[in-house]
Chain A
Amino acid sequence: MTGPQISFDNVGVTVGSTTLLRDISVTVGGGSWMSIIGPNGAGKTTLLRCLAGLVKHSGTISVGNDHNAHLTSRDRAKLVALVPQTPVVPPGILVYSYVLLGRTPHQGMRFSASADDQRVVDETLDRLDLTRFADRQLETLSGGERQRVVLARALVQSTQVLVLDEPTTGLDIGHQFDVLELVAELGAERGLTIISTLHDLSIAGQFSDRLALLSGGNLVASGNPSDVLTTENLAAHYNIDADVQHNNGEVSINVRRRAATAQTETP
């Protein structure tokens, strides 16, 4: 089974007099991984939050044949799972109970866990090599382990769309790769459509099928990593002087230090 195609069509977000996103139109192919990149404050997280139904927006977002705005939050939670950038960890919660929360949209009025719920949680803990942590308090886990637990909670939602907001925040380079390679494997196994924000550009280019570059609330470039990650785009939107090389899906970006004597600073 392959995940649904996701289309953003003229999506805009305005809060008060501030426009956070303007006329974003981009399509994510079913079963593919698109990463949203862009400088701080570009609106990356806001775009993800629109998809997760957490922000009022203009325009339309469709997930497969479903019109996102017409879904109830419960139905949306069966289609789209969100891994937030800084997940709230309730004090004292056990890993097992935390992962079980992902089954919420599949449960009845009182949110009691069925045998089926428990089976899905057990399988997922096993798949992510977390079984030995099941009875540990989530707070006591290391950053990398904790991120796997949050990912497990999203996976037990049994959705076809996975949304990851900066899934590598706070992890060292080894654990960043652990998490992203795990996501890539799971994406391939389950045919997931994945949308993520990633701040590390070469990592974004390496793992994603497509990139969308946001800057100041506008979509300024989208397409294959080699089309988006260019010296010109990085200069225009990140204000850096970088040498970019694409080689068989590997991306290397070499940023030159701005010498104090060179040119005038951009205002």
Chain B
Amino acid sequence: MHDRGKAGWISAGLVAVAFSAVLSLSIGAVSISPVAVFAELLDRLPFISIDSGLDRFGTAIVWDVRAPRVVLSLLVGAMLSGSGAAYQGVFRNPLADPYLLGVAAGAGLGVTLMIVSGASDGIGPFDPVPLAAFVGALGAVTAAGVLGSRVGAAGSTTTLILAGVAVASFLTAAQTYVQQRNADTLRQVYVWILGRLAGTWDSVLLVLPYAVVCLGVIWWFAGALDVLAVGDDEASSLGLNPRRTRAWVLLAASLAAAAAVSVSGLIGFVGLIVPHAVRSLAGVSNRLVVPLSILFGAAFLALADIAARTIQSPAELPIGVVTAFVGAPFFLMILRSQSGRIS
């Protein structure tokens, strides 16, 4: 019955993605008019030929320098935000976020171990870094989930997050320890930890398959997440298999978050801010929250990356600093609005 509203929201999401992409492509050390960028993008579409007025130099900046980084920021934003929406659905907890659940820290430890052991070069074309990040991420979210349900009152919103914080601190400590013990790879690890979008077509190609598959799986299960919202017992009595749903969504969300972390480092709060904003605007049904989180998450991170590139220009801020500046106060705001519900 709300199909028209749904189409409207999805269109708004697509417009936001296009807008942030064009803006992001035009802003930088060399300013290029957004109109020219837009024309340049349209020109690449099949059956459309428009002269953007850009010279060879301008075209090279748009396509070779900026485009890979913009596409990467869109993909990473989509994955962090999509996995945040998925975790919130699975744990029935609006505060769940890949960063706060220790997922990013787990992925960080996985990647550090991989770099330190020297196996990061891979065997042939296979890059083991995302896999290491995935194993770490899944380990962390499992630990947070198990500890959160064992320690506190079942179903308490804050216990899960506290467990996540404890897991994250522990894994970060382990990661730092491993990093310090292996000073020769310190630089390599440190560059990665700071969280910057590398911006090469190689890293785009590296995460693209993970983004497509994981976000596809999460989107497929969006309806099941709506059923899961009434809790395991009632969901079972409605004919859903809660454990299978949770397992699939957790796998997909953790793999997405890990893949994002493995190309961009630790970027927090995206998975928290975007789905929350979407829910307060478009309602709580995951059928809408999941696709909109993916779209607006992509747009959000592209915009955050503009800030990271320009605030201290020509120096660059780590993008994780930008998202934390926006995200941490936002987190407190949600916590406050939740306080009536937290047991």
Q: Which residue of B lies closest to A154 (CB)?
A: B237
Which of B26-34, B146-154, B226-234, B304-312 lies at the binding interface?
B226-234
Which of A93, A104, A110 meets B238, CB within 8 Å?
A104
Q: Which residue of A lies closest to B285 (CB)?
A: A97
Within the assembled complex, what's the spacing in Å between the Cα atoms of A182 and B124? 70
Within the assembled complex, what's the spacing in Å between the Cα atoms of A35 and B279? 41
Is A249 positioned at the interface, with any CB of B under 8 Å from its CB? no
Is B220 positioned at the interface, with any CB of A under 8 Å from its CB? yes
**What's the least CB distance linking A135 to chain B, in Å?**
10
Residues of B with C-beta under 8 A to A94: 283
Which of A84-92, A194-202, A216-224, A252-260 lies at the binding interface?
A84-92
Within the assembled complex, what's the spacing in Å between the Cα atoms of A110 and B240? 11
Asked if residues B226 and A84 are in contact (CB atoms below 8 Å), the reply is: no
Contact status of A77 and B238, CB under 8 A, knowing A90-B92, A91-B341, A94-B283: yes
Within the assembled complex, what's the spacing in Å between the Cα atoms of A81 and B236? 11
Is B239 positioned at the interface, with any CB of A under 8 Å from its CB? yes
Which of A49, A73, A84 meets B239, CB within 8 Å?
A73
Asked if residues A88 and B231 are in contact (CB atoms below 8 Å), the reply is: yes
Is A67 positioned at the interface, with any CB of B under 8 Å from its CB? no
Within 8 A of B (CB), among A65-84: 72-78, 80-82, 84
Residues of B with C-beta under 8 A to A72: 239
Is B1 positioned at the interface, with any CB of A under 8 Å from its CB? yes
Residues of B with C-beta under 8 A to A236: none
Within the assembled complex, what's the spacing in Å between the Cα atoms of A232 and B196? 78
Within the assembled complex, what's the spacing in Å between the Cα atoms of A54 and B231? 12
Residues of A with C-beta under 8 A to B197: none
**What's the least CB distance linking A176 to chain B, in Å?**
22
Within the assembled complex, what's the spacing in Å between the Cα atoms of A81 and B229? 18
Residues of A with C-beta under 8 A to B226: 97, 101, 111
Q: Mark B310-336, 1 if CB is under 8 A from A, else 0.
A: 000000000000000000000000000
Is B49 positioned at the interface, with any CB of A under 8 Å from its CB? no
Residues of A with C-beta under 8 A to B236: 52-54, 73
Q: Mark A88-129, 1 if CB is under 8 A from B, else 0.
A: 101111101100011011010111100000100000000000
Most buried by B among A80, A91, A107, A157: A91
Within the assembled complex, what's the spacing in Å between the Cα atoms of A102 and B284? 17
**What's the least CB distance linking A28 to chain B, in Å?**
18
Q: Which residue of B lies closest to A52 (CB)?
A: B237
Asked if residues A54 and B223 are in contact (CB atoms below 8 Å), the reply is: no
Within the assembled complex, what's the spacing in Å between the Cα atoms of A77 and B279? 29
Is B224 positioned at the interface, with any CB of A under 8 Å from its CB? yes
Q: Mark B203-238, 1 if CB is under 8 A from A, else 0.
A: 000000000000000001011101101110110111
Asked if residues B341 and A87 are in contact (CB atoms below 8 Å), the reply is: no
Residues of B with C-beta under 8 A to A81: 237
Within the assembled complex, what's the spacing in Å between the Cα atoms of A110 and B285? 13
**What's the least CB distance linking A167 to chain B, in Å?**
15
Asked if residues A92 and B283 are in contact (CB atoms below 8 Å), the reply is: yes
Residues of B with C-beta under 8 A to A104: 227, 238-240
Asked if residues B229 and A112 are in contact (CB atoms below 8 Å), the reply is: no
Residues of B with C-beta under 8 A to A102: 238
Within the assembled complex, what's the spacing in Å between the Cα atoms of A17 and B220? 42
Contact status of A76 and B279, CB under 8 A, knowing A111-B224, A111-B226: no
Residues of A with C-beta under 8 A to B223: 107, 110-112
Asked if residues B238 and A92 are in contact (CB atoms below 8 Å), the reply is: no
Asked if residues A84 and B238 are in contact (CB atoms below 8 Å), the reply is: no
Which of A82, A92, A109, A118 meets B279, CB within 8 Å?
A92
Residues of A with C-beta under 8 A to B188: none
Within the assembled complex, what's the spacing in Å between the Cα atoms of A16 and B227? 30
**What's the least CB distance linking A91 to chain B, in Å?**
7
**What's the least CB distance linking A103 to chain B, in Å?**
9
Which of A53, A97, A110 meets B237, CB within 8 Å?
A53
Asked if residues A77 and B237 are in contact (CB atoms below 8 Å), the reply is: yes
Is B241 positioned at the interface, with any CB of A under 8 Å from its CB? yes
Asked if residues B227 and A101 are in contact (CB atoms below 8 Å), the reply is: yes
Asked if residues B239 and A77 are in contact (CB atoms below 8 Å), the reply is: yes
**What's the least CB distance linking A39 to chain B, in Å?**
23
Q: List 6 A-B contacts (CB under 8 A).
A: A54-B236, A84-B234, A92-B279, A101-B230, A101-B238, A107-B223
